Amino acid sequence: MPGKLKILIVDDSPTSREVTTATVKMFGHEVMTASHGQEALQLLYSEQIDVVISDILMPVFDGFALCLEMKKDVRLKNIPLIFLSETYKNTKDKEFGLFIGAEEYLLKPLRPKVLMNTLARIFSHGGLVKDNTPLFSHDVQKELKEYSTSVYKTYNSLLIHKLEEQVTKREASDQKLHTLLGLSSLANESMDDTEYFEKTLSLIANYCNSKSGGIYLIGPNGFDMSLVVYQNLPDFYLETLSEIEVGFSFAGKAASEGKLQVFEVDQIQSITLRSIFEKNGIQIILTFPIASQHGILGSVLLLFEDKTFVSERQSELLISFGRQLGIRITHQKIADLIHTSREKLKAIFDGISDHIYVIDTDYRITSINKPFARTLNQSPSKIVGHKCYEIIWGRMSACEDCPVKIEDKDHAIRHYTLPDQQLRITELRAFPIKSEDTVKEHILYEKDITSLVTLEKKSS
Residue 342 within a domain: no
- Average pLDDT score over residue span 383-392: 88
Residue ending a domain, choose from 288, 309, 336: 336
Would you say residue 198 has pLDDT above 90?
no
User: Are 364 and 292 part of one and the same domain?
Assistant: no
With cut-offs at 50, 70 and 90, classify the pLDDT of residue 168: very low
Residue ending a domain, choose from 100, 133, 159: 159
**pLDDT tens per residue, range 107-146:** 888 888 888 888 888 887 555 545 554 444 444 444 444 4
274 contacts 268 by C-beta, under 8 angstroms? yes
Residue 345 within a domain: no
User: Are 155 and 22 part of one and the same domain?
Assistant: yes
52 contacts 44 by C-beta, under 8 angstroms? yes
Would you say residue 54 has pLDDT above 90?
yes
Residue 166 within a domain: no
Q: What is the CATH number of the domain that holds 30?
A: 3.40.50.2300
Helices 91-99 and 63-71, interaxial angle, to 10°?
20
Would you say residue 184 has pLDDT above 60?
no
- Residue 51's domain comprises 6-159
Nearest-CA neighbor of 321 among 196, 155, 199, 179? 179
**pLDDT tens per residue, range 335-362:** 565 566 567 667 877 888 888 888 888 8
Ranked by mean pLDDT, which of 159-163, 174-178, 194-198, 355-359 comes out on top? 355-359
The pLDDT score that the predictor gives to residue 44 is 95
With cut-offs at 50, 70 and 90, classify the pLDDT of residue 243: confident
User: Are 366 and 319 part of one and the same domain?
Assistant: no
Residue ending a domain, choose from 336, 368, 389: 336
Residue 167 within a domain: no
Residue 168 within a domain: no
User: Are 197 and 312 part of one and the same domain?
Assistant: yes
User: Are 406 and 292 part of one and the same domain?
Assistant: no
Q: How many domains does the chain have?
A: 3
User: Are 246 and 384 part of one and the same domain?
Assistant: no
Residue 187 within a domain: no
Is the pLDDT higher at 84 or at 336? 84
- Average pLDDT score over residue span 225-254: 82
Nearest-CA neighbor of 426 among 407, 409, 413, 437? 413
Residue 85 within a domain: yes
The pLDDT score that the predictor gives to residue 145 is 45
The pLDDT score that the predictor gives to residue 150 is 45
Q: What is the CATH number of the domain that holds 369?
A: 3.30.450.20
Q: What is the CATH number of the domain that holds 284?
A: 3.30.450.40
Which amino acid makes up residue 418? L
Instruction: Choose the weakest-confidence range: 74-83, 154-163, 312-321.
Output: 154-163
The pLDDT score that the predictor gives to residue 151 is 46
444: Cβ contacts below 8 Å, ≥ 6 apart: 356, 357, 358, 359, 388, 403, 404, 428, 429, 430, 431
Instruction: Give dist(CA 422, CA 385) in Å, integer.
Output: 27
User: Are 363 and 330 part of one and the same domain?
Assistant: no
User: Are 451 and 389 part of one and the same domain?
Assistant: yes
Residue 169 within a domain: no
The pLDDT score that the predictor gives to residue 46 is 94
User: Are 128 and 209 part of one and the same domain?
Assistant: no
User: Are 372 and 313 part of one and the same domain?
Assistant: no
User: Are 245 and 367 part of one and the same domain?
Assistant: no
User: Are 11 and 154 part of one and the same domain?
Assistant: yes
- Model pTM score: 0.41
